[in-house]
Amino acid sequence: MNVHEFAVASLSDHRLFAFLDLAGTFAFAISGAVAAKDRNLDGFGIMAVAFTVACGGGVMRDLCLGVVPPAGLSEWQYLATALCAAALTMAAGRLVTRLAHPVILFDSLGLGLFAVTGAQKSLLLGHNAEVALLLGMVTAVGGGVVRDVLLNRVPVVLKREIYASAALVAAAIEVAGERLGWTSSWRTWLALGACFTLRYLSLHYGWNLPRFSGRQEDQPDEGRPG
């Protein structure tokens, strides 16, 4: 979520990662803005939820790492990108609907990239592999969890689809690669590729993680207490 994490990559990779970082931020913000608009929030609510999805995970990570103020709050690119996504959703809902495919594409790339940057930042600050894995995953999915909590529903990453697991795979590749001495660019590409492939295959084939409650449906249960 922070372009400065990529300083060790080659210059051309650095530019590409910086682009993907903002493209992922944009895709995350679109998912927040669309969900907020569907729940009938007002203009402020749509902007707030868009920004929360885009930067919430990175803010949680930075708080856990003692990096204050969190990069998501202090670097204007993220706020500007999130507000653009919110404005586009408000002004041109049909265009956003038509953009569904590129949005899923960049959301999947953002997922992997945020997991990698979260893990990288933790390792750069000298923390252990467990912290890097957990905070990589938090960076990638934390914003979506807060979005669902604010919109008063059980976070979707806890219920279905291969999403947090794909982020975990990306963070694990980053951490393992760092320990094995791979170059920064290589392990980032590998992590991104694995996360993206896993996410895309799971969407295409409708893969889900197993459940254990004996019920197959979950829709009627949502929004009510257990």
Task: Tell me: does residue 179 bind its own copies (CB under 8 A).
Answer: no
Q: Considering beta carbons, is residue 73 or 124 the nearer one to its own copies?
A: 73
Q: Are the CB atoms for 100 and 44 separated by under 8 Å?
A: no
Q: Considering beta carbons, is residue 31 or 184 the nearer one to its own copies?
A: 31
- The Cβ of residue 19 has, within 10 Å, a number of other Cβ atoms equal to 11
At its nearest, how many Å lie between its own copies and the CB of residue 161? 8
Instruction: Mark residues 190-219: x for contact with its own copies by CB under 8 A, - for none.
Output: ------------------xxxxxx-x-xxx
Q: Which of residues 34-63 bind its own copies (CB under 8 A)?
A: 35-46, 48-49, 59, 63
Query: Which residue from 3, 119, 134, 140 is in contact with its own copies, where contact means CB under 8 A?
Result: 134
Interior/surface letters 204-222, b for 16+ CB within 10 angstroms, e for the rest = eeeeeeeeeeeeeeeeeee
Q: Are the CB atoms for 35 and 151 separated by under 8 Å?
A: yes
At its nearest, how many Å lie between its own copies and the CB of residue 3? 16
At its nearest, how many Å lie between its own copies and the CB of residue 10? 30
Query: Which residue from 18, 84, 151, 176 is in contact with its own copies, where contact means CB under 8 A?
Result: 151
Q: Considering beta carbons, is residue 16 or 65 the nearer one to its own copies?
A: 65
At its nearest, how many Å lie between its own copies and the CB of residue 58? 12
Query: Which residue from 7, 11, 12, 66 is in contact with its own copies, where contact means CB under 8 A?
Result: 66
Task: Tell me: does residue 93 bind its own copies (CB under 8 A).
Answer: yes
Rounded-to-integer distance, Cα 17 and Cα 206, Å? 29
Rg for the chain, CA atoms, rounded: 17
Query: Which residue from 3, 113, 116, 157 is in contact with its own copies, where contact means CB under 8 A?
Result: 157
Amino acid code (one letter) for 100:
A
- Any residues with CB less than 8 A from the CB of 50 and at least 6 apart, and which? 29, 30, 32, 33, 36, 82, 83, 85, 86, 89
Q: Are the CB atoms for 116 and 143 separated by under 8 Å?
A: no
Task: Tell me: does residue 103 bind its own copies (CB under 8 A).
Answer: no
Rounded-to-integer distance, Cα 9 and Cα 69, Å? 25
Q: Are the CB atoms for 153 and 221 separated by under 8 Å?
A: no
Token pair, residue 199, equals: 């996410």
**Binding residues for its own copies (CB under 8 A):** 35-46, 48-49, 59, 63-66, 68-70, 73-76, 79, 89-90, 93, 122, 127-128, 130-131, 134-135, 145, 149-155, 157-160, 164-165, 208-213, 215, 217-219, 221-226
